[in-house]
């Protein structure tokens, strides 16, 4: 077993992680430069980086990146709001829950990406169809977590709040919602990721703007370096969003016991 003292952390860990990245790039470069892998199919890392540099230097990428991010944020916001509302409603009214149960299961089991063309017909090729796709992806994650969160409320905490004089609305606000929110936040990483997937996949399947659209266009002209450049930019964005979520999480879930509870003296 690994001794936990030897696991690198902090700055050292970051340096190691960066070295891994450089090694991967080096390997990619070596294999394609020596033509072991044909550069036509596998791209050339240096040109990929140049491409990314051009994008940001000329500012060409910003409108596309902006559209993709707006789609992501909108899908995330509406999907979360809807999931929260429906989750609360179904968890607190058993009749509605048993009625809706098979439909929820069916809708969740359906591969929702196939809805993208339908949304394109309904909402056009603008951001509407991408947001709609993202919402269908985010909704179920949030919905199931809210539902679970409310079911998991400790009966003792609930009885205590009632004895302290809480009415229905107050139970909702002071007991059910905070419990549900803790579950929603614990799934924040997944749902932000899904909103992003919805936006990019939607763009890829038909659009006039966005990073997904750039990738699609480049593929059409066999410009593999631009495809890789687009993928790298998307990945960096996803990482950034994830970091943002971690920050938000740390603030809002301060009441939850974490792992690193003791302070070094």
Partner 1 sequence: MSDCALSFAAVSAAFAAPGGGRYTAVAGVDLDVAQGEFVCVVGPTGCGKSTLLNMAAGLLQPSAGQVRVFGQPLDGLNRHAGYMFQADSLMPWKSAIDNVMAGLIFRGTSPVEAREQARYWLQRVGLAQHADRYPHQLSGGMKKRVALAQMLILDPRIILMDEPFSALDIQTRQLMENELLDLWSADRKSVLFITHDLEEAIALSDRVVVLSAGPASHPIGEFAIGLPRPRDVAEIRLTPHFVELHGRIWGAMKEEVLKGYAQSQGMARASGGRHE
Q: Is 201 exposed, middle or buried (0-12, 13-18, 19+ CB in 10 A)?
A: middle
Q: CA 126 to CA 138: how far, in whole Å?
A: 19
Give the integer Cα–Cα distance in Å for 10 and 154: 38
Q: Check residue 151 for interaction with partner 1 (CB under 8 A).
A: no
Choose the stretch contacting partner 1; rule: CB under 8 A; options: 36-44, 111-119, 235-243, 254-262: 254-262
Closest CB 181 distance from partner 1, rounded Å: 8
> Residue count at the site for partner 1 (CB under 8 A)?
22
Q: Angle at the Cα of 151 (from 102 to 198), degrees rounded to 5?
A: 55
In the set 32, 72, 179, 225, which binds partner 1 (CB under 8 A)? 179
Closest CB 12 distance from partner 1, rounded Å = 30
Q: Does residue 145 bind partner 1 (CB under 8 A)? A: no
Report yes or no: 172 and 84 within 8 Å, Cβ to Cβ.
no
Q: Binding of partner 1 at residue 163 (CB under 8 A)?
A: yes
Give the residue, chosen from 22, 24, 62, 154, that forms a contact with partner 1 under the rule CB under 8 A.
154
Answer for which of 37, 77, 92, 161 binds partner 1 (CB under 8 A) is: 161
Cα 32 from Cα 39, distance rounded (Å): 5
Check residue 178 for interaction with partner 1 (CB under 8 A): yes
Q: Applying CB under 8 A, does 166 fall inside the site for partner 1?
A: yes
Q: Which tokens belong to 104?
A: 């929820």
Q: 């899908």: which residue's tokens?
A: 75
Q: Which stretch binds partner 1 (CB under 8 A): 62-70, 119-127, 167-175, 192-200?
A: 167-175
Which of 128, 146, 132 minimizes the C-alpha distance to 83?
Answer: 146
- Judged by CB under 8 A, which stretch of 21-29, 32-40, 75-83, 150-158 contacts partner 1? 150-158
Identify the burial level of 3 via C-beta atoms within 10 angstroms of its C-beta, where 0-12 means exposed, 13-18 middle and 19 or more buried: exposed
Which residues of this chain interact with partner 1, rule CB under 8 A? 154, 156-157, 159-167, 170, 174-175, 178-179, 182, 254-257
């Amino acid at each position: 077993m690994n001794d936990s003292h030897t696991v690198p952390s902090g700055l050292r860990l970051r340096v190691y992680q960066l070295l891994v990245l450089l090694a991967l790039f080096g390997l990619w470069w070596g294999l394609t430069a020596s033509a072991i892998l044909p550069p036509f199919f596998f791209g050339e890392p240096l040109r990929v980086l140049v491409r990314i540099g051009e994008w940001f230097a000329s500012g060409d990428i910003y409108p596309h990146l902006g559209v993709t991010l707006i789609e992501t944020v909108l899908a995330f916001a509406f999907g979360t709001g809807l999931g929260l509302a429906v989750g609360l409603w179904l968890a607190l009214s058993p009749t509605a829950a048993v009625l809706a149960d098979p439909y929820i299961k069916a809708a969740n089991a359906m591969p929702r990406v196939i809805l993208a063309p339908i949304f394109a017909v309904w909402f056009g090729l603008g951001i509407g169809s991408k947001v709609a796709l993202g919402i269908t992806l985010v909704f179920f994650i949030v919905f199931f977590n809210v539902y679970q969160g409310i079911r998991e409320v400790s009966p003792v905490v609930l009885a205590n709040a009632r004895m302290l004089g809480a009415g229905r609305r107050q139970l909702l606000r002071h007991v059910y919602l905070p419990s549900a929110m803790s579950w929603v936040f614990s799934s924040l990483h997944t749902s932000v990721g899904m909103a992003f997937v919805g936006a990019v996949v939607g763009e890829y399947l038909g659009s006039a703007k966005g990073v997904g659209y750039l990738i699609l266009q480049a593929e059409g002209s066999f410009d593999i370096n631009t495809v890789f450049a687009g993928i790298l930019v998307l990945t960096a964005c996803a990482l950034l969003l994830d970091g943002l979520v971690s920050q938000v999480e740390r603030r809002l879930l301060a009441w939850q016991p974490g792992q690193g509870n003791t302070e070094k003296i």
